[in-house]
Amino acid sequence: MLTTTIFNALLGASFALAAPVCRRVTINQEAAAEAQQRDDTATRAFTAAEIKTANGQCLSVDPNTGDFRLNLIPIQIKACDGSPNQQWDVITAGKHNDQPGNALIVSSLINGCLNFDPRRAAGNQVILFSCGGRADGEGQVTDSQLFPFDGNAGPLPLVPKNSQNKVCLTANGDLLDQAACNPDAAADNQLFTIGEGGQASPPATAAPTEVASTASASASTVPTTAGTAPQATGTAVLDPAAVAEAQQRDDTATRAFTASEIKTSDGQCLSVDPLSGDFRQNLIPVQIQTCNGSPNQQWDVITAGKHNNQPGNALIVSSLINGCLNFDDRRAPGNQVILFSCGGRADGEGEVTDSQLFPFDGNAGPLALTPKNSRNTVCLTVKGNLLDQEACNPDAAADNQLFTIGEGGQASPPPATASPTEVISTASASATAVQPPTTIVAAPRPTGTAVLNPEAVAEAQQRDDTATRAFSDVQVKTADGQCLSVDPLGGDFRQNLIPVTVGACDGSPNQKFDVITKGKHNNVDGTALVVSSLIQGCLNFDPRRPAGNQVILFSCGGRADGGGLTTDSQLFPFPAGTTGPIPLTPVNSKNTQCMVNKNGNLDVTQCNGSNPNADQLFSFVA
């Protein structure tokens, strides 16, 4: 409910703007709540203050002019109207500012930070972005959001720390922009006043929570935001691409149990509702329900794998969702036991975390579930219809702190000679009563069913109309006469991460490409970008990705949001005037990797780019 209240307040505030906004977006409430969190521990020199230009106008933000997370919002310059859109906090110390003599400038309405990013296109480098510099809200401190500040409220220049004292934020028409400057002799359109100017009042000596409460009380028109992620509602709107990224099954893992029930001492089952967390299927509470044999009540117990490198411990993983049972004592009481992406990172990029490991010797119970990060002082506990936690002695756990996996007893050891995949298959076969649904594995193959975000696509996949094209709308053919092809719904919500397939030529737009030798994303002579004419994404080689999924279509410039410039991962040596056959050898591979057809997918193989094999050659055919 709190998230809905915030969202409605933001929406209402955006309608209060006098001038029309440049674009409208569909805001994902859960993603915005995660990305834009108020730091209630911070020291604020100013709270809910206007920031005025030299000619008396105010800096203003419109929540509907950024992306679905309330990032990438331009800063407008408008007549002062006292609205929440024009209120700002100045933070001199806190979670995202550990550098004395510097300040963050934070929208009191949105909680995003003023940010200077010189990698973005000119005229769009000054934006509001999640404090800490990570789109999902998990960043810590970044120089792109810090401004030298000595307590003087102005007039003063706003000089981003990452500009090394060479750039001032600048009023440019009705937008806040940037320009080269000497901060000691800033022009009038580079001077700003916070509040009524003068010297900031020193912070009160109360505890941080009291300071935060006082600050909030002084700005009652500013909506309060949640410090933690929203509570489960059972009606979450999932982002399929984000779920696939965050909840990946570890097929390399050793499983002591697969698709097994976990029962309480009174015979009920641990259960999860896929729609009771956030848009990534994180933050899902674990319920206690009558056992019904459904996939919601099936669990894997992993004793070794990508997210467990500690012998004598186990992960407890939902067979349905692939998220891990997690204990987080930083969360509100009653909401500390949740399902979360294995490895402990919301986006699925974590490795191993003690908050998801439980001591396990193979005994299936009854046993206490004691999170490793609790140092043997906490047991997971049945409280009503929820799995919670409580202080305990694990050697003398109460009945409501004891659980049985499957039918109890000792877990069957995996076959000594089997490979990990064989172990998984054998374990799955032993749980045939109710088979769990097929889950998405790491580096999922395209399904053609991605749910696109139109605003995010338009931002990420922009056609470069200034570019020099050696070819437009041509087929890229393999040596055996097949064509490269892309499926617009085979990637994520931005049309990034799309695999490139190889198949019979059909003349469709999916098989048409441009070859760009110069432009916004190519400033290297003798090279070319290979760009989908349909999607405008660039052929990209990323050796950091799992083998078999390293060749993808990605936003030209290499940044997911379209703000990138030039990257070697998308450039290929290209002799002037050629139509092929030539190898496609990514510049970032240093002439050691050639693209090749592997069973219908475009992949890479080691090669000598100067002397490629026939199956590593491609031609451009109109």
Query: For residue 533, which phi and psi values (nearest 5 degrees)?
Result: -65, -25
Both structure tokens of 193? 């006043």
Report d(CA 247, CA 439) in Å as an integer.
Answer: 9
- Answer yes or no: do 299 and 245 share one domain: yes
- For residue 115, tell me if it sits in a domain: yes
What is the pLDDT averaged over residues 537-565? 91
Give residue 159's pLDDT. 96
* pLDDT tens, residue by residue, 237-279: 777 778 888 999 998 999 989 889 999 999 999 999 988 888 8
- For residue 441, tell me if it sits in a domain: no
Number of domains in the chain: 3
Q: Look up tokens 């933001």; give the residue.
A: 10
Give residue 448's pLDDT. 58
User: pTM (2 decimals)?
Assistant: 0.38
Containing 427, the helix (H) or strand (E) segment is: helix 420-429
Sequence-distant (6+) residues with CB within 8 A of 439 are 249, 319, 320, 322
- For residue 448, tell me if it sits in a domain: no
Work out the percent of the chain whose per-residue pLDDT is above 70: 82
Report d(CA 58, CA 570) in Å as an integer.
Answer: 41
Beta bridge partners of 512: none
- Answer yes or no: do 41 and 181 share one domain: yes
- Answer yes or no: do 460 and 425 share one domain: no
- Answer yes or no: do 181 and 74 share one domain: yes
Give residue 57's pLDDT. 94
Which range among 13-27, 119-133, 370-384, 400-414 shows the weakest confidence by mean pLDDT?
13-27
**Sign of the CA dihedral running 367, 371, 376, 379:** negative
- Answer yes or no: do 53 and 86 share one domain: yes
Give residue 451's pLDDT. 73
Give residue 1's pLDDT. 39
Give residue 28's pLDDT. 80
- Answer yes or no: do 191 and 256 share one domain: no
- Three state DSSP letters for 112-157: CEEEECCCCCCCCCEEEECCCCCCCCCCCCCHHHCEECCCECCCEC
- For residue 436, tell me if it sits in a domain: no
Average predicted confidence (pLDDT) for the chain: 82
Report d(CA 562, CA 537) in Å as an integer.
Answer: 10
Examine the pLDDT at 33 and tell me if it is beyond 90: no
- For residue 597, tell me if it sits in a domain: yes
Work out the percent of the chain whose per-residue pLDDT is above 90: 59
DSSP code of residue 344: S
- Answer yes or no: do 536 and 418 share one domain: no
- Answer yes or no: do 202 and 257 share one domain: no
- Answer yes or no: do 466 and 599 share one domain: yes
* pLDDT tens, residue by residue, 274-321: 888 888 899 999 999 999 888 889 999 999 999 999 999 999 999 999
* pLDDT tens, residue by residue, 159-205: 999 999 999 999 999 999 999 999 999 999 999 999 875 445 443 33
- For residue 498, tell me if it sits in a domain: yes
Q: Report residue 458's pLDDT band, with 50, 70 and 90 as the boundaries.
A: confident
- For residue 233, tell me if it sits in a domain: no
- Answer yes or no: do 548 and 594 share one domain: yes
For residue 403, the domain's CATH number is: 2.80.10.50
Better-predicted residue by pLDDT, 448 or 242: 242
* pLDDT tens, residue by residue, 331-365: 888 899 999 999 999 889 899 999 999 999 888 88
Closest by CA position to 89, among listed 46, 51, 42: 46
- For residue 269, tell me if it sits in a domain: yes
Examine the pLDDT at 125 and tell me if it is beyond 50: yes
- Answer yes or no: do 14 and 158 share one domain: yes
Q: Is residue 138 a contact partner of residue 346, using CB atoms and an 8 Å limit?
A: yes
Domain assignment of residue 548, given as a range: 454-621
- Answer yes or no: do 458 and 585 share one domain: yes
DSSP code of residue 202: P
